[in-house]
Structure formats: structure tokens, C-alpha cells
């Protein structure tokens, strides 16, 4: 009926090793083409970055050219966990940037109030 436990267990460790390489800068598993691992890593990163940019365009605009390099560091340090949501990812990145002093903390919103218009 179901796959034998050994087949599942073997597959589980293979898949976990691959995702660890792709998402958390782990070592490339045996037998994979390292260049392709790198291509896939960058593609997954670009997809994730695009989603965070879409969900938080203001943060991306504020960071400007720093957005991509900062996000890429954040992403490797914080691979997406099972069950996490894209919005949480975007919020966590913003928080990470604030903690790193790359984004102002909280004062900006109040500034707007004093602006004309």
C-alpha cells in the first residue's frame, strides 16, 4: 500500500540534503553537478526575492540597490521553514534590516504626518 519505510527514509534524507544545499548554503550532495546546484540556488533565491519585493515594494524602494545583496544574505541565513508564509518572510526581512541598521526604525511613519500635503 504505502512505500516501504526504507524508501521513504532514503528519499527524505536525499531531499533534505538537496534543499539544505539549495536554501541554506549546505554542501552539494554527491552526484550533483555543482554548477547546476548554483544555478538552481540562484533561481530559487530570485523567486523568493521577487515575492518579497512584491509584498513590500516600499522596503525594496527604500533599500534601492542594497535590496538584492541584503536580501541574499538574509535568505541564506534564514531559509524558509515549512509552514511559514510569504508575508511572514517579507516581514522578517524588514525586521532583519532594521536590526542590522539598514532601515530606519519606526520614525519614518511619524515624519509623514508633518509633511505638507
Partner 1 sequence: MATPTSTQGAQLSPEEIGFLAGGPGRAAETALARLLDAELVRVARDGRVSAVHQNGHGATTSLEARVLKQVRTPVWFHKVVKNAAKDQETQALHRRLLEAKLLRRSRKRIVVWWLLVAIGVLLGLLSLLMPALLFGAFAFLWAGLYLRGRRPLTRAGKAAVSGTPASDRVFAVARYGFFGTVAGQSVHELFELPKGVVKTASGQRKPAKRRRTGGSGGSSCGGGCGGSWSSDSNSDSGGGSSCGGGGGCGGGGGD
Partner 2 sequence: MAGIADLGVGIGWRPEIDLTVERLPGVDFVEVVAENLHIGHLPESVTLLLDRGVPVLPHAVSLSLGGAEEVDLARVEHLGAVAEAVGAPLVSDHVCFVRAGGLDSGHLMPVPRTRDALDVLVANVRTAQRNLPVPLALENVAALLEWPDGELTEGQFLAELVERTDCWLLVDVANLYANARNIGTDPGRFLDEIPLERLAYVHVAGGVEHGEVYHDTHAHAVLPEVLELLDELCSRVNPPGVLLERDDNYPSDTEIASELAAIRAVVDKKRD
| Cell numbers found for residue 113 | 504626518
Which residue stretch of 18-26, 64-72, 92-100, 103-111 sits at the interface with partner 2 (rule: CB under 8 A)?
18-26
Which residue stretch of 13-21, 22-30, 87-95, 97-105 sits at the interface with partner 1 (rule: CB under 8 A)?
87-95
Cβ-Cβ contacts under 8 Å for 62 (sequence gap 6 or more): 103
Distance CA 21, CA 64 (A): 28
Q: Which of 80, 91, 92, 102 binds partner 2 (CB under 8 A)?
A: 80
The minimum distance between CB 60 and partner 2, in angstroms, equals 15
Residues of the shown chain interacting with partner 1 in the complex, contacts defined by CB under 8 A: 42-51, 54-55, 57, 68, 80, 84-87, 89-90, 117
Amino acid at each position: 500500500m504505502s512505500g516501504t519505510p526504507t524508501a521513504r527514509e532514503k528519499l527524505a534524507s536525499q531531499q533534505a540534503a538537496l534543499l539544505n544545499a539549495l536554501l541554506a548554503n549546505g554542501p552539494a550532495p554527491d552526484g550533483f553537478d555543482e554548477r547546476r546546484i548554483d544555478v538552481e540556488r540562484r533561481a530559487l533565491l530570485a523567486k523568493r526575492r521577487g515575492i518579497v519585493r512584491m509584498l513590500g515594494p516600499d522596503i525594496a524602494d527604500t533599500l534601492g540597490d542594497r535590496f538584492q545583496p541584503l536580501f541574499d544574505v538574509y535568505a541564506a541565513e534564514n531559509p524558509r521553514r515549512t509552514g511559514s508564509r510569504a508575508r511572514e518572510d517579507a516581514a522578517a526581512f524588514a525586521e532583519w534590516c532594521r536590526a542590522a541598521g539598514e532601515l530606519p526604525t519606526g520614525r519614518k511613519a511619524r515624519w509623514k504626518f508633518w509633511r505638507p500635503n
